[in-house]
Amino acid sequence: MVGIVIVSHSEKVSKGAVELCYEMADKDLKIVSAGGTEDGRIGTDAFLIKEGIEEVYTGNEVVVLADIGSSIMNAEMAIDMLDEEIKGSVLILDTPIIEGSIAVAVQASISNNIEDIIKAAEDAKQMKKVRNE
Amino acid sequence: MITSDMLLNIIENMAHVMKENKGYLTELDAKIGDSDHGINMDKGFSAVLEKLSSLKGQDCGTILKTVAMVLISKVGGASGPLYGTAFLKSAAVVKDKMEIGGQDAIAVFDEAIKGVKMRGKAEKGDKTMLDALIPAYEVFKESIENGEDMVKASFKAQEAAYNGVEYTKEIIARKGRASYLGERSIGYQDPGATSSYLLLKTIWCTLDKV
């Protein structure tokens, strides 16, 4: 299955997102939180993200969802530091972290098709929550 | 010529300067960012400081690479991967070298800037550390190529970086948290450009005292 790594500046947010995902996702799906710094501050840590990616990598793709600021930069840094074998399988998704994580986790529970997972992330970005009719 | 011992000395002073300016940089960041720049820089450089004694006698490449890895793992904010990449890229230029000559220094500076650009996907004028670093690099290169020594060149570099920091007050932030503020970011100097200036000033101050 596709692995999922959720990166937030706040460890509580990324852990909460993982929790929300498992409400709906297949329990065998590997979803990990890589949020906050190693000493519990608000921030992101490239090494923590790298470990997260390695943890969920099973030979299929790994998708990374990140919030704002340095999280994307540190996710890219983490990918740069990976072994060549894993590096090409990792993708950062451009999507809101909570909505995107849930959509991606549900889609990844249904199929391994990476295009469908990318589409689910894209759709989550466009999703309309309030309709003024 | 900067020997590996002088390089260690520069880095040690950088750590002290970051500690002294922890409150100042955080205050600047509170106005247009997430109020953590000084805290993060101090956190990173304090961890660097702890590693320095183990680096005595090592080549310049190893020293710079170690600084990079510590900053990447300890900083937490965007300055971690940015400065980390800058140090990492410059480390490759002086791999196995015990001294950094004028031409090496130009290459180190150039690679550092390329690293920041690559990691941050920013350019000059985006209100980032590049607004201090790029003008500093340009005058540094010119000074060395005109036959001036490293002290003179690094003095001119930090002066240009200072002017770069002043320039960031006039422009809109296009990168990082400050970009959320749009036009409201005008009037405030960029904290990243400010820390870059302080680091460059530390290089000059250290070399000037040797």
Report yes or no on A111 lying in a domain. yes
Report yes or no on A109 lying in a domain. yes
Q: Do B40 and A74 touch (CB under 8 A)?
A: no
Say if strands A62-66 and B99-100 run parallel, antiparallel, or are unpaired.
unpaired
Report yes or no on A132 lying in a domain. no
Report yes or no on A131 lying in a domain. no
pLDDT of residue B76: 87
Q: Which secondary-structure segment (H or E) carries B2?
A: strand B2-3
The domain in which residue B159 lies consists of: 2-209
Query: Which residue is associated with the tokens 């932030």?
Result: B173
The domain tally of chain B equals 1
Structure tokens that stand for B35 in this block: 């109020």
Confidence of residue A132 (pLDDT cuts 50, 70, 90): confident
CATH of the domain at B111: 1.25.40.340
pLDDT tens column, B43-82: 999 999 999 999 999 999 999 999 999 999 999 889 999 9
Active site residue A9: yes
The pLDDT > 70 percentage for chain B reads 100
Average pLDDT of the segment spanning A45-63: 97
Confidence of residue A69 (pLDDT cuts 50, 70, 90): confident
pLDDT tens column, B163-209: 999 999 999 999 988 999 999 999 999 999 999 999 999 999 999 99
pLDDT of residue B139: 98
Nearest chain B residue (CA) to A71: B78
pLDDT at B100 over 80: yes
Q: Do B176 and A69 touch (CB under 8 A)?
A: yes
pLDDT at A92 over 90: yes
Distances (CA, A) of B5 to B54, B60, B66, B207: 12, 9, 15, 12
Nearest chain B residue (CA) to A67: B177
The domain in which residue A98 lies consists of: 3-126
The verdict on A26 touching B (C-beta cutoff 8 Å) is no
Query: Which residue is associated with the tokens 């894993």?
Result: A86
CATH of the domain at A36: 3.40.50.510
The domain tally of chain A equals 1
